[in-house]
């Protein structure tokens, strides 16, 4: 295994220790801000195998990656996912394995995932209204998601985080109900500003429900919030605590207050492409390297080169912003 000579640092001095891995581009819902209703998924042979993923994580860990998060598509549609979780949880140097899921399949799988070594879980839920859930996801299943969230709490995940995409004119009415649901069940709620990665090119700046607007709404309707004292300066969310001790809310202001300056993430897509930014326009073909017989040193060099070439930021707020060809489900959430 390659020996790390220095942390993974890009040309702007950002240290990278967080690897997000998409295990599939398939999903059992069709969120309007993520993917089209009709989509051609990758053939199975184009996906990285569990063994290939484990090998790359071992190399990444040797280069001081310490955190891994599994995403999709919907990661729980990948067969035998707890097997992969267990493999990654035992990689030397990896101290944290997390998962982001839409929750539809979570209830029957929560125990197996926890027993495999998963400890952090984020569930995507944008609304507490079943009808609006079906309009946003173009599929039924609201009750299954709620059951999955409660099952995750029951087996011992703590905290369970809820990720809600905030879209003006779509989910405004859901901010307060989500806040109350999270407080009632001891969940950590995180709102994410709507980003230009939708399939229908419907994104407009005016449709972004701003983090500041969400904070004002929660403070007014539920209770005063103040900045959390234990902020992680490299985390994408700015956390706020209710003054009455009733929980925490995170705001990910990807558009209004980009966190690019402290970004510590790299991404590996389900088909083995390494991306140094969610909005990257270039990729490194890790799958081709692995299947072409590349050594661990060559994989480590590819990772270091990708991080070294990272740009300053995604440029959403610049006139020259270019939307990547890949949609969110194909990149990994």
**Angstrom distance (rounded) from CA 82 to CA 289:** 26
Is 124 labelled as part of a ligand binding site? Answer: yes
**Angstrom distance (rounded) from CA 65 to CA 17:** 4
Is 262 labelled as part of a ligand binding site? Answer: no
Is 207 labelled as part of a ligand binding site? Answer: no
Is 260 labelled as part of a ligand binding site? Answer: yes
Is 246 labelled as part of a ligand binding site? Answer: no
Task: Please choose, from the candidates 261, 256, 287, 262, the residue with its C-alpha nearest in 3D space to the C-alpha of residue 274.
Answer: 287
**Angstrom distance (rounded) from CA 268 to CA 106:** 23
Is 85 labelled as part of a ligand binding site? Answer: no
Task: Please choose, from the candidates 117, 116, 111, 110, the residue with its C-alpha nearest in 3D space to the C-alpha of residue 96.
Answer: 117
* CA 280 distance to own-chain centroid: 16
Is 1 labelled as part of a ligand binding site? Answer: no
Is 27 labelled as part of a ligand binding site? Answer: yes
Is 245 labelled as part of a ligand binding site? Answer: no
The answer to whether 148 and 105 are in contact (CB under 8 A) is yes
The answer to whether 123 and 98 are in contact (CB under 8 A) is no
Task: Please choose, from the candidates 3, 9, 6, the residue with its C-alpha nearest in 3D space to the C-alpha of residue 266.
Answer: 9
Enumerate the β-bridge partners of residue 206.
Answer: none
Q: Determine which helix (DSSP H) or strand (DSSP E) holds 303, and give its type and residue range.
A: helix 296-308
Is 190 labelled as part of a ligand binding site? Answer: no
Give the tokens for residue 317. Answer: 């707020």
Is 33 labelled as part of a ligand binding site? Answer: yes
Is 109 labelled as part of a ligand binding site? Answer: no
Q: What is the dihedral of CA 133, 138, 141, 142, to 10 degrees?
A: 0
Is 205 labelled as part of a ligand binding site? Answer: no
Which residues neighbour 297 within 8 Å (Cβ) at sequence distance 6 or greater?
2
Q: Binding site for S-adenosyl-L-methionine: what residues are annotated?
A: 33, 73, 124, 195
Q: Please report, in range form, the residues annotated as the binding site for [4Fe-4S] cluster.
A: 27, 31, 34, 260, 263, 277
Binding-site residues from annotation for GTP: 20, 69, 100, 161, 265-267
Q: Which residues are annotated as a binding site?
A: 20, 27, 31, 33-34, 69, 73, 100, 124, 161, 195, 260, 263, 265-267, 277
């Amino acid at each position: 295994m390659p020996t790390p000579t220095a942390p993974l640092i890009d040309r702007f001095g950002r240290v990278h220790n967080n690897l997000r891995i998409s295990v599939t581009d398939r999903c059992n819902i069709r969120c309007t801000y993520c993917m089209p209703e009709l989509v051609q998924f990758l053939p199975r042979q184009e996906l990285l195998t569990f063994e290939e993923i484990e090998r790359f994580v071992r190399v990444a860990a040797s280069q001081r990656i310490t955190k891994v998060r599994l995403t999709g598509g919907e990661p729980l549609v990948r067969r035998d996912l707890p097997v992969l979780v267990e493999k990654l949880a035992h990689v030397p140097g990896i101290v944290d394995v997390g998962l982001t899921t839409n929750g539809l399949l979570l209830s029957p799988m929560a125990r197996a995932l926890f027993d495999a070594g998963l400890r952090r879980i984020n569930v995507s839920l944008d609304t507490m209204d079943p009808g609006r859930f079906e309009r946003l996801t173009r599929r039924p299943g609201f009750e299954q998601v709620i059951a999955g969230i409660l099952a995750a709490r029951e087996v011992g995940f703590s905290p369970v985080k809820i990720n809600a995409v905030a879209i003006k004119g779509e989910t405004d009415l859901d901010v307060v109900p989500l806040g109350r649901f999270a407080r009632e069940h001891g969940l950590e709620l995180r709102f994410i500003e709507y980003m230009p990665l939708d399939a229908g090119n419907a994104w407009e700046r005016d449709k972004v429900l701003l983090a500041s607007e969400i904070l004002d709404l929660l403070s007014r309707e539920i209770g005063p919030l103040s900045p959390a004292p234990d902020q992680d300066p490299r985390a994408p969310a700015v956390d706020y605590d209710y003054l009455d001790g009733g929980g925490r809310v995170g705001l990910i202001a990807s558009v209004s207050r980009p966190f690019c300056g402290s970004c510590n993430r790299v991404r590996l897509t389900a088909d083995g492409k390494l991306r140094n930014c969610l909005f990257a326009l270039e990729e490194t073909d890790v799958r081709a390297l692995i299947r072409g017989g590349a050594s661990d040193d060559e994989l480590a060099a590819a990772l270091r080169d990708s991080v070294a070439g990272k740009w300053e930021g995604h440029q959403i707020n610049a006139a020259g912003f270019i939307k990547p060809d890949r949609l969110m489900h194909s990149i990994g959430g």
